[in-house]
Homo-oligomer: A and B are copies of this chain.
């Protein structure tokens, strides 16, 4: 056989900074970051902001402009883009196009920067635009929701939806840095504040029993938006995500995706609800389903399951009727087939053996899922009957 061979490694490295008041002119973090970047020429940075965030922080644009008037390590592109927040950012191709156009108009090159400030959806969109323009412009993430700070914003994936299909277009392209500013969380509504807690419960359930216990113990503080607790939750959750990504298969060449615990149904539930439930809410429902499935599969004790459902139910409405599986044609079950296709034919589902101990299986029995869904809806009943959380 006549052939040549090519092989090489590409190294990725970035930091996730935790700060407060990122754009206060006496906060040097961002300026120092740009100063530290090696570069022969004057660099530009294009900012893209989440409109929902801007609504809640009308002074943000001015603060950014003022910051870069004081700190001149990088040249702020005069036009600051504001794009719709939430899934709309990823659904509308015109929004993507507007970022590409700005890259062109403002001469943003591969050694310049695009900074995204917003929720996970805006970060996914902007990361994708940065990945494809000029074959990859350096991008910075400044996540402003709990979910984006503890999960989506610290990872390596980005993407947009295509004809309603979640993340159909996207890429694996790590940011050059992430800046988590806790002040942004203050303006979140309660739903978005809680939504990201779901991903923390997820990593706790699959790999960190002590963290699960911590969340149980701090549940009421978190419900009351105690910021110190939230800060710990975000940082610990981000760390677990980061470790998980780097230790296994960052660009997901295999089929295994334990971080997707509860997600096969979550993706479908989001879609079935027409995105009226958030990603975090859907993941909570999905985890309830797969934890209960673990009970029926004979691998998780009912006592443990109750602990899990109790915690989830404190934050989320896990008994949303969408979870009901009445027969084998229930729409939610299509999620299984779609997830299989997404992974590439080989289904990998995470189940629980214990709180903090996930493991993989390669098939799911729809009848058992039906039983599991009924159990969850029952759980609600018991909960309302007794108004206590049985342990």
Q: Residues on A close to B: CB < 8 A?
A: 1-19, 29, 39-43, 100, 104, 107, 109-112, 131-136, 154, 157, 159, 162-163, 165, 167-172, 174, 235, 238-239, 242, 245-246, 250-252, 255, 341-346
CA distance A13 to B12 in the complex (A): 17
Contact of A162 among B43, B100, B342 (CB under 8 A): B100
Q: Which residue of B lies closest to A247 (CB)?
A: B8
Measured in the bound complex, the distance between the Cα atoms of B250 and A7 in whole Å is 10
Decide yes or no: A341 and B109 within 8 Å by CB, A7-B246, A18-B2 being known contacts: yes
Assembled-state Cα–Cα distance A229/B228 (Å): 72
Take A40-B255, A109-B344, A343-B111 as given contacts and tell me if A246 and B15 are in contact as well, using a CB distance cutoff of 8 Å: no
- Chain B: minimal CB distance from A151 (Å): 13
Query: How many copies, total?
Result: 2
Closest residue of chain B to A32 (Cβ to Cβ) is B1
The 9 closest A-B pairs by CB, nearest first: A111-B344, A41-B345, A7-B13, A8-B246, A40-B346, A2-B18, A135-B170, A109-B344, A4-B16
A16 to B250: give the CA distance in the assembly, Å. 26
B17 A2 Cβ-Cβ under 8 A: yes
Bound-state CA distance A133–B172 (Å) is 11
Q: Which residues in B have their C-beta under 8 angstroms from that of A9?
A: 9-12
The interface residues of chain B lying within 8 Å CB-to-CB of A13 are: 5-7
The CA of A42 and the CA of B346, in the complex, are separated in Å by: 9
* Contact pick for A107, options B7, B157, B341, CB 8 Å: B341
Q: Which of B6, B134, B242, B344 contacts A41 (CB 8 A)?
A: B344
Q: Report B-chain residues with C-beta under 8 Å of the C-beta of A245.
A: 6, 8
Q: Beyond the given A3-B16, A7-B11, A134-B170, could you list 5 further A-B residue pairs with CB under 8 A, ordered by the A residue number?
A: A5-B242, A6-B14, A40-B345, A110-B344, A111-B255
The binding surface of chain A is classed by DSSP as: mixed
Q: In the complex, what residues of B have CB within 8 A of residue A104's CB?
A: 162-163, 165, 168
Shortest CB-to-CB span from A259 to chain B, Å, is: 14
Is there contact, CB below 8 Å, between A12 and B6?
yes
28 contacts between A and B (CB under 8 A): A2-B18, A3-B15, A4-B15, A4-B18, A4-B242, A5-B14, A5-B16, A6-B14, A6-B154, A8-B11, A9-B12, A39-B345, A40-B255, A41-B344, A41-B345, A41-B346, A100-B169, A104-B163, A109-B345, A110-B342, A110-B343, A131-B171, A132-B132, A132-B169, A134-B168, A135-B170, A136-B171, A171-B171
Bound-state Cα–Cα, A304 to B242, Å: 55
Whether B111 pairs with A4 at a CB distance below 8 angstroms is: no
Chain B residues, CB < 8 A from A100: 162, 168-169
Task: State A186–B104 Cα separation when bound (angstroms).
Answer: 40
Bound: A3/B254 CA distance, A:
30
Q: Is the CB of B111 within 8 A of A346?
A: yes
Residues of chain B within 8 A of A345, CB atoms compared? 39-43, 109, 111-112
Contacts of A168 in B (CB 8 A): 100, 104, 133-134
Residues on B with beta carbons closer than 8 Å to the beta carbon of A171: 131-132, 135-136, 171
Q: Closest CB of chain B to A49's CB: distance in Å?
A: 23
User: In the complex, what distance in Å separates the CA atom of A40 from the CA atom of B136?
Assistant: 33
Tell me the nearest residue of chain B to A29, going by C-beta.
Answer: B1
Looking at the assembled complex, report how far the CB atom of A36 sits from the nearest CB atom of chain B, in whole angstroms.
11
Task: Quote the shortest CB–CB distance from A18 to chain B (angstroms).
Answer: 4
Q: Which of B8, B157, B174 contacts A135 (CB 8 A)?
A: B157
Closest to A103 in B: B168
